Amino acid sequence: MNPLSPNALKVLTHPLDFVLCVLKGFRKNQIILLAGAIAYYALLSVVPFLILTVIALSHWVSQAELLDTLGRYLEWLVPSQSAALLLDLTNFLENGVAIGVVLLVTMLFFSSLAFSVLEKSMAVIFSHRGIIQKRHFLTSALLPYCLVFFLGAGLLVVTIVSISLEGMALMSVNLLEWRWSLSGLSRVLLYLLGLGTETIILSAVYYLVPIGRTAIHHALIGGFIMASIWEIIRHQLVWYFATMSRASVVYGSLTTAVVALFSMEIIATLLLLGAQVISEYERFGEKH
């Protein structure tokens, strides 16, 4: 019995045709333009989201621990600019009570716009499913806020696990006359925690956002592959901004915003590219 599905066999048999189909769909659906809109609205909502999330979660975890976790994993979102973004975040938190309502409205408004663009982008990419009916209005209205809640809860879990792993770095294992520090293992586990969280978020988007059923293993594979590709790109961006970039000279005080928008544009493009790959995989068997 062959463990591979018919579509998987056809992709392995015609890999070049599959890649060409993905690229044609990428160009036809104008993925870069759609990604730009998603990145723009996501950037406008990310800072209010971070501020309100830290304020809310500080009831369970110390604000210092939350900021430490954010400082580590913001580097995954905005390479080379996490320190500047964290500084702005800290400054905002000092006036959190006075601007809390404004932040809440801002986050809800722009996150709903970002999700609306994402939902419409997914509808275009997965149009082959032929699903005519739309989601109920309440479902479309509440889903972005459910995802925001999911992200906030994820930050709480990641912070708690990070605290435990950082504590592990101070420990060591004694065996006979040898002593091994667990700091190296702690760093590896912290990195895997970030990669795993990123994979889960991307997989959740692939599974929940498109109208129609996406196989959970397709969503997980797509999430892991896109997260891995972003990791490669992210390290290249860190090297580029640290050694060759002159963005600070060109953009001055706007450097953080420009680099953050550029990074989120790449992330949004990879997100939609992963959706395009899943879409082409679902119908590849029909073409060959």
- Contact present, 172 and 182 (Cβ < 8 Å): yes
pLDDT higher than threshold 70 for residue 123: yes
pLDDT higher than threshold 60 for residue 94: yes
Distance set, CA 57 to CA 81, 233, 256, 264 (Å): 23, 31, 26, 25
Distance set, CA 122 to CA 115, 208, 218, 242 (Å): 10, 10, 15, 35
In this structure, what token pair is assigned to residue 280?
Answer: 């082409």
DSSP string, 165-219: HHHHTT-EEEETTEEEESHHHHHHHHHHHHHHHHHHHHHHHHHHSSSS---HHHH
- For residue range 6-50, list pLDDT tens digits in order: 777 777 777 788 888 888 988 998 899 999 999 888 888 887 787
- For residue range 146-194, list pLDDT tens digits in order: 777 787 777 777 777 777 777 766 666 666 666 666 677 778 888 888 8
Q: What is the pLDDT of residue 287?
A: 56
- For residue range 221-275, list pLDDT tens digits in order: 888 989 899 889 988 888 888 787 777 777 777 777 888 888 889 999 999 999 9
Q: What is the pLDDT of residue 269?
A: 93
Predicted confidence band of residue 1 (pLDDT cuts 50, 70, 90):
very low
Q: Once rounded to an integer, what is the mean pLDDT over residues 199-215? A: 85
The CA angle 172-196-2, to the nearest 5 degrees, is: 115
Q: Once rounded to an integer, what is the mean pLDDT over residues 270-287? A: 82
Model confidence, pTM: 0.82
- For residue range 49-76, list pLDDT tens digits in order: 877 787 778 778 887 777 887 877 787 7
Predicted confidence band of residue 99 (pLDDT cuts 50, 70, 90):
low
Backbone region of residue 135 per phi and psi (left: phi > 0; alpha: psi in -120 to 50; beta: other values): beta
The CA angle 128-131-135, to the nearest 5 degrees, is: 130
pLDDT higher than threshold 80 for residue 277: yes
Q: What is the DSSP letter of 14?
A: S
- Contact present, 264 and 39 (Cβ < 8 Å): yes
Q: What is the pLDDT of residue 173?
A: 63
pLDDT higher than threshold 60 for residue 96: no
